[in-house]
Amino acid sequence: DIVMTQTPLSLSVTPGQPASISCKSSQSLLHSDGKTYLYWYLQKPGQSPQLLIYEVSNRFSGVPDRFSGSGSGTDFTLKISRVEAEDVGVYYCMQSIQLPLAFGQGTKLEIK
């Protein structure tokens, strides 16, 4: 099974400052079809998770452009260019190149 490892597990950011979360997979997420099956979700307090980024770097509908994803192979990063109060919550990366689908442990973002 593929293991997803996120760092850091928590971070505290001043509004307006950038934030970055790393996600590493135990195997390459690049498929023979040319796609890389890495996704990012945000679970705001008391809410269901929501899709932020699909296939490494594509923002889902309605996701602000301050969120961006990058990376390849086994190393990926989610960046928030200027953190806002509404960005608090737990961020998860996930792979779907292989069953079972696997999530990272989650990174809790809080505002200073």
Partner 1 sequence: EVQLVESGGGLVQPGRSLRLSCTASGFTFGDYAMSWVRQAPGKGLEWVGFIRSKAYGGTTEYAASVKGRFTISRDDSKSIAYLQMNSLKTEDTAVYYCTRDPGYSSSSHFDYWGQGTLVTVSS
Residues that bind partner 1 (CB under 8 A): 37, 39, 41, 43, 48-51, 54, 60, 90, 92, 94, 96, 99-106
Least distance in angstroms from the C-beta of 45 to partner 1: 13
Nearer to partner 1, 9 or 70 (CB): 9
Least distance in angstroms from the C-beta of 99 to partner 1: 6
Nearer to partner 1, 34 or 100 (CB): 100
Q: Output the DSSP codes for 34-76.
A: S-B-EEEEEE-TTS-EEEEEETTTEEPTT--TTEEEEEETTEE
CA dihedral in degrees (106, 11, 90, 76; nearest 10)? -50
